[in-house]
Amino acid sequence: MRILIIGGTRFVGRALVETALARGHQITLFNRGQSNPDLYPDIETLHGDRDGDLDLLAGKIWDAVIDTCGYIPRVVRQSAQLLKHAVDQYVFISTLSVYADSSQPGLEESAPLAVMQDESIEEINGETYGPLKALCEAQVQNAYGDRALIFRPGLIVGPNDYTDRFPYWPWRAAQGGNILSPGRPQRPIQFIDARDMAEWVLTMVETQISGIFNVISPPGKWTMKQLLDTCVDVSGSQAHLVWVPDDFLLEHKVGAWMDMPFWIPESDPELAGFFAFDATKAQRAGLTYRNLEQTVRDTFDWVQSRPADHPRRAGIDRDTEQELLEKWWKTQNK
């Protein structure tokens, strides 16, 4: 197949490109050339900003386009309209953040979506990200109808994860010592390996499936303890997990998600469904999941390939971690 990928040189895009190449597809990339511009020298690459340079795509034909980096509805509408007669299928990578209410476990693809009160706003932040993505989905559906294929992934993990959220844990495990481990050990967590997602996305494109799919692991497949135990085992360290409850972390202003990746306090009713999205539709359509150890090991190998002084974008610093552990132990010895 001839596939146009908008993006393609960062994390999810890389997984899609490498999977597509392994399957023998002919790839064209369209991106700004700012991230890893020399990554694929043998692939046809068109450099331009999708908000203004789409004329670079005019007059070309592909079987499908995979849009990995659409965030602004106006901009997505431009690419959707331009390519309407140039591709058979428009594949849009969206997010589970499109749902209006994350307080309910088991959200399916038909659940209500978040709404932008002012649709002229294009600033992306924690409050607008989900509603803007929902509007982007609508632009794709309006242009393509039953030729639209929309994926809503949750937390994506694996090698090349520049967010450092998942990579923090195997990196931290390798440092050894006492590890501040957040919340309840048996707290269920959900994520998807970028390579599992890429394999399935390409299969869906090859078979010309349309529709909307949550792309995430089944609720309860993994727990926080399983993840951290696996990180310790893979790293080969003698690290010791010290489990600290939500209320202590909240009391000491530990930030959920970024200070402690994968941690969300269970006391927050608005996020009760955050690690419990329904994945049944995707599983029935063939989505599978690799072994947790493989994901951790491959991520750890990638982490080790980076410079030792590479600045981390997520995770608590070691001094703060030690201070918190000392305070926690004092509460236990009273």
What are the DSSP calls for 21-90, one per residue? HHTT-EEEEEE-S-SSTTS-TTSEEEE--TTT-GGGGTT---SEEEES----HHHHHHHHHHTTTT-SEE
Superfamily of segment(s) 2-153:
NAD(P)-binding Rossmann-like Domain (3.40.50.720)
pLDDT attached to residue 334: 67
pLDDT attached to residue 308: 85
Q: Which residue has the tokens 């974008």?
A: 313
| Cα gap 299→293, rounded to integer Å | 10
Q: What is the DSSP letter of 183?
A: S
| Cα gap 50→213, rounded to integer Å | 25
pLDDT attached to residue 67: 98
Judge whether 196 and 211 are in contact, CB under 8 Å: no
User: ∠ at Cα 11 (5, 96), nearest 5°?
Assistant: 85
Q: What is the DSSP letter of 111?
A: S
What topology does CATH give the domain 165-189+220-272+291-329? UDP-galactose 4-epimerase; domain 1 (3.90.25)
Q: What is the DSSP letter of 184?
A: -
Fold match between domain 2-153 and domain 165-189+220-272+291-329: no
Tokens of 332: 């236990």
Judge whether 192 and 254 are in contact, CB under 8 Å: no
Helices and strands counted in the chain (H then E): 10, 13
Tokens of 315: 């995770």
The Cα-based distances of 141 to 76, 208, 248, 290 in angstroms read 11, 15, 45, 31
Tokens of 18: 């490498």
- Total residue count of the chain as it appears in this document: 334
pLDDT attached to residue 207: 97
pLDDT attached to residue 197: 98
Judge whether 180 and 321 are in contact, CB under 8 Å: yes
Burial of 19 (C-beta count, 10 Å sphere; 0-12/13-18/19+): buried
| Cα gap 49→297, rounded to integer Å | 36
Domain boundaries in the chain? 2-153, 165-189+220-272+291-329
Task: Please state the pTM of the whole predicted model.
Answer: 0.96
| Phi, psi for 65 (deg, rounded to 5) | -120, 140
* Nearest by Cα to 11 from 178, 163, 166: 163
How many CB atoms lie under 10 A from the CB of residue 261? 22
pLDDT in tens, the chain (334 residues): 999 999 999 999 999 999 999 999 999 999 999 999 999 999 999 999 999 999 999 999 999 999 999 999 999 999 999 999 999 999 999 999 999 999 999 999 999 999 999 999 999 999 999 999 999 999 999 999 999 999 999 999 999 999 999 999 999 999 999 999 999 999 999 999 999 999 999 999 999 999 999 999 999 999 999 999 999 999 999 999 999 999 999 999 999 999 999 999 999 999 999 999 999 999 999 999 999 999 999 999 999 999 988 899 999 999 999 999 999 999 998 6
Judge whether 167 and 202 are in contact, CB under 8 Å: no
